[in-house]
Amino acid sequence: MAKGIVKKTFLAPLGKDNPVFVQVLGICSTLAVTNKLENTLVMTLGVMFTTALSSWTLSLMRSWIPSRIRMMVETLVIATYVILVDIALKAFYPEMWKQLGPYVGLIITNCIVMGRIEAFALQNKPGLSLIDGLASGLGYAYVLMIIAFFRELLGTGSLWGYPILGSWWTNWSIMIMPPGGFFMLAIFIWVVREVVLKEAKK
């Protein structure tokens, strides 16, 4: 495997092929928990784990999968990894499990997981697919962490549960409510597209 391909595979989802701000995919399951940094970190780690390992597994099996039942096999593998995440959280991090509720299960329908498998893992070698899955998960994670950072900071005046801004700060309650998630994501996409992508084109 050429070193260049590995590097390119890893870097693309972090920048110019980012699943969130370029393709606007997969925000369904996680946006709802971005009102707290801690929840977001755990959720995005779950997504990263699922994307990387299901890409790897399906890439290993890719030449044996009958095309007619491809979607079913993919779903089954993804669901298995998600159940692992769910059980692990329930056993070792029960408070978080309670807070995330049904959202862990919704990683199954996260468009990024299935999207990377269809677009990449089924045509590439397992090792490279693992890197692609990991990088896509990472590209997804850092965007949502930035959103969560602003939502928690502006909405509650604290970060990771610790008060940061002090008593002079009036909480913007709207930020931790559902509309805040939409606005933050829109602003983020706007800024990135105006600034970063324009510079990249030059």
* Residue 29 makes contact with other proteins by CB under 8 A: yes
Minimal CA–CA distance to 44: which of 117, 113, 91, 120? 113
Between residues 8 and 98, which has the closer beta carbon with respect to other proteins? 98
Residue 95's CB is within 10 A of a number of other CB atoms, namely 9
50: contact with other proteins by CB under 8 A: no
- # residues near other proteins by CB under 8 A: 63
Diameter over CA atoms, the chain: 62
Examine residue 181 and tell whether it contacts other proteins (CB under 8 A): yes
Residue 101 beta carbon to other proteins: minimum distance, rounded to whole angstroms: 6
Query: Length of the chain in residues, anyone?
Result: 202
Q: In the Cβ-directed half-sphere of 20, how many Cα atoms lie within 13 Å?
A: 28
Contact mark string toward other proteins, 75..114, x via CB under 8 A: xxx-xx-xxx-xxx-xxx-x---xx-xxx-xx-xxxx--x
33 binds other proteins (CB under 8 A): yes
For the purposes of burial, counting CB atoms within 10 Å of the CB of 110, is it exposed (0-12), middle (13-18) or buried (19 or more)?
buried
Which of 9, 13, 18, 26 is in the footprint of other proteins by CB under 8 A? 26
Nearest approach in angstroms of CB 2 to other proteins is 32
* 131 contacts 9 by C-beta, under 8 angstroms: yes
| Contact criterion met (CB below 8 Å) for 175 and 160 | no
Residues that bind other proteins (CB under 8 A): 24-29, 31-33, 35, 64-66, 68-69, 71-73, 75-77, 79-80, 82-84, 86-88, 90-92, 94, 98-99, 101-103, 105-106, 108-111, 114, 173-174, 176-183, 185-186, 189-194
